[in-house]
Amino acid sequence: MIAEHNLQLDPQKNLHHFLSIEGLSRKHLTSILEATHSFTNVAEQSVKKVPLLRGKTIVNLFFEPSTRTRNTFELAAKRLSADVLNIDINTSATSKGESLLDMLHNLEAMHCDMFIIRHAYSGAAHFMAQHVAPHISVINAGDGCHEHPTQAMLDMFTIMQHKSGFALLKVAIVGDILHSRVARSQIHALNILGVEEVRVVAPKTLLPTAVETLGVHVYHHLDAALQDVDVIIMLRLQHERMQGALLPSQGEYFKNYGLTEQRLALAKSDAIVMHPGPINRGVEIASSIADGTQSVILQQVTYGIATRMAIMSMTLGRMPNHSSHPSTTE
Amino acid sequence: MYDVNVLLNTMQQQLMTYFNTIAPAKEVIMIGIHTGGLWIAQHLHQKLQLPQALGSLDITFYRDDFTQIGLHPEVKPSQLPTDLDNKHILLVDDVLYTGRTIRAALNELFDYGRPASVTLAVLIDRGGRELPIAANIIGQSIHLKKNQHIKLQGPDQLRLEILEKP
């Protein structure tokens, strides 16, 4: 596993790829959060662009459906002045039987600089990172049930905008933990940033085995889990990944695990409600909560752009053998 | 060694001429470049009692050496007070050397709007320009060797330090 963790860092321990939160240090995460903060301003310029990645070509390789993630990656790349290539997998040669590696080498031959990949297989981004040319960076935009690290970072940034520091926070993650790569990345990030407590809340059928080893407290009753929490993260039921009957019905699920106004009242009065989207109203969250004053769901989307700008420029900006900063340009 | 307060007074005198000839003080938007330029701008802004809020500019995203040195992790967001269209901008930096910082700052300013004019005020002009850029208001012009580096220390007590590389 050690070799795999080091895969995303260059010899100076700077980010070269961004594959998983697991294996990163608190310093890595805080520098991403700091850089994100500075990129939030770009949206306020009348020309919403900075020239950082001018001349770089970034390829969006989405083997699974996505709207928010793919669009915010594309906007982030464009606001950094990079050129973006969106590969439509359904009409590409992959559907004619081309292997992932052959596709990769063809894109390399077109002088691309970064691959952003989403794939149904866990480890797909790591696999790519192991096989790309050394100047190319790979960013994981979600791999199977493993990780979705840029989502976790935008969630951390959203929390940071509403709470003063991570140390005293109690966070509840509610729903389909078993299939959620978002939850895995969030749990790692929250623990690395040193929150007081991470709670996961789900029926037994939607929890991975030995989930406690990730550093979380397990709850099966939502009411108990919401007591005194500062942050509530709701997750979508991932029907597309479910095999077999894990739940009696959606109605039954909402009755036991849906976030309603009565339940939200159990959390701290200034608790924020988050959701990585897409939301299913009336399945995991009541409409009045999703649109309510404590919801920061749309802010998550906005911050997703600045977060991805930060991660893209941190991975692409540093060339091998140039780790130090001259003090000024004057 | 140079007394920063004396240099600030010299700049203040030149700025009075600027207010009388180019733009009245009440219309001027002063913008300091992170970090040293902002310290100088804060002092001038207070001395001159300018009514428009002080702005700050971090040029990291506009540097021309990004691919060599990467993203500086402690980049501060730029804070520009208003829409810059048709405004008279007074850009302030501590040391003018190659001109590359000012090139980057101008590019960033123009992504916020189309100012009526941009005037450059610097505490020290040390020569050594690599671009066709000149300051309008200068605390002091000095000559330094290539291996010498002048740095403004602050923010509490502003002082200039000359460092020499072996």
Q: Report residue A19 as tokens.
A: 């594959």
Chain A residues close to B65, C-beta within 8 Å: 326, 329
Give the residue, B74 or A47, on which the prediction is more confident: A47
Chain B residues close to A317, C-beta within 8 Å: 66-67, 69-71
pLDDT at B79: 87
What percentage of chain A reaches a pLDDT higher than 70? 93
Which residue has 């940033």 as its token pair? A193
Please tell me whether residues A162 and A288 are part of one structural domain. Answer: yes
Q: Are B51 and B16 in contact (CB under 8 A)?
A: no
Residue A319 has pLDDT above 70, yes or no: no
Contact B101 A329 (CB under 8 A): yes
pLDDT at A178: 94
Q: Are A96 and A42 in contact (CB under 8 A)?
A: no
Q: Report residue A309 as tokens.
A: 């700008």
Omega before residue A248 within 30° of 0, cis? no
Please tell me whether residues A241 and A261 are part of one structural domain. Answer: yes
Q: Are B55 and B76 in contact (CB under 8 A)?
A: no
Please tell me whether residues A108 and A158 are part of one structural domain. Answer: no
Q: Report residue A111 as tokens.
A: 């002088």
Domain presence at residue A238: yes
What is the torsional sign of CA B75, B76, B81, B82? positive
pLDDT at A327: 40
Low-confidence stretches of chain B (pLDDT < 70) are: 73
Report d(CA A64, CA A43) in Å as an integer. 28
Residue A258 has pLDDT above 80, yes or no: yes
Going by their DSSP bridges, the two strands B28-33 and B55-57 should be labelled as parallel
Domain presence at residue A280: yes
Please tell me whether residues A296 and A308 are part of one structural domain. Answer: no
Mean pLDDT, rounded, of chain A? 91
Interface of B with A in 22-61 (CB under 8 A): 58, 60-61
Domain presence at residue A328: no
Please tell me whether residues A34 and A162 are part of one structural domain. Answer: no
* CA A220 to the chain's CA centroid: 25
Which strand (E) or helix (H) includes residue B66? helix B66-69
Q: How many domains does chain A have?
A: 2
B156 in reach of chain A (CB within 8 A): no
Chain A residues close to B66, C-beta within 8 Å: 52, 313, 317
Which residue has 């007394």 as its token pair? B3
Residue A326 has pLDDT above 50, yes or no: no
Please tell me whether residues A229 and A92 are part of one structural domain. Answer: no
Query: Over the stretch B114-126, which tens digit does the pLDDT of each residue have?
Result: 999 999 999 999 9
Q: What is the ipTM of this complex?
A: 0.76
Please tell me whether residues A88 and A228 are part of one structural domain. Answer: no
pLDDT at A318: 64
Please tell me whether residues A126 and A181 are part of one structural domain. Answer: no
Q: How far is CA A236 from CA A40, A51, A81, A239, B33, in A?
A: 27, 37, 33, 9, 45
Q: Are A118 and A320 in contact (CB under 8 A)?
A: no
Interface of A with B in 35-74 (CB under 8 A): 35, 37-38, 40-42, 45-47, 49-52
Write the DSSP symbol of residue A132. S
Span A59-85, mean pLDDT?
Answer: 94
CATH code of the domain covering residue A35 = 3.40.50.1370
Q: How far is A163 from chain B (nearest CA, A)?
A: 20
- Give the helix ranges, DSSP H, for chain A: 2-6, 26-39, 68-79, 100-109, 124-131, 149-162, 181-192, 222-226, 250-257, 261-264, 287-290, 297-317
Please tell me whether residues A155 and A101 are part of one structural domain. Answer: no
Residue A154 has pLDDT above 90, yes or no: yes
Q: Report residue B56 as tokens.
A: 């700050």
Please tell me whether residues A196 and A139 are part of one structural domain. Answer: no
pLDDT at A239: 78
Chain B residues close to A51, C-beta within 8 Å: 61-62, 107
Report d(CA A151, CA B147) in Å as an integer. 46
Which pLDDT band, with edges at 50, 70 and 90, does A41 fall under? confident
Domain presence at residue A290: yes
Nearest to A147 by CA among A172, A104, A117: A117
Which pLDDT band, with edges at 50, 70 and 90, does A322 fall under? very low
Domain presence at residue A322: no
pLDDT at B72: 73
Domain presence at residue A89: yes
Please tell me whether residues A296 and A153 are part of one structural domain. Answer: yes
Q: Are A278 and A18 in contact (CB under 8 A)?
A: no
For residue A192, give its domain range.
Answer: 149-300
Q: Are A325 and A139 in contact (CB under 8 A)?
A: no
Domain presence at residue A141: yes
pLDDT at B73: 66
pLDDT at A4: 46
Please tell me whether residues A43 and A158 are part of one structural domain. Answer: no
Contact A322 B70 (CB under 8 A): yes
Domain presence at residue A321: no
Secondary structure in 3-state letters for B112-154: CCCCCEEEEEEEEECCCCCCCCCCCEEEEECCCCCCEEEEEEC
Which residue has 């240090």 as its token pair? A25
Report d(CA A180, CA A301) in Å as an integer. 18
Residue A5 has pLDDT above 70, yes or no: no
Query: Over the stretch A206-229, which tens digit does the pLDDT of each residue have?
Result: 999 999 999 999 999 999 999 999
Minimal Cα distance from B34: which residue of A? A328
Site from B67, B112, B163, B165 to mutate, A interface, most A CB atoms within 10 angstroms: B67
Q: Are B41 and B119 in contact (CB under 8 A)?
A: no
CB A45: neighbour CB atoms within 10 A? 18
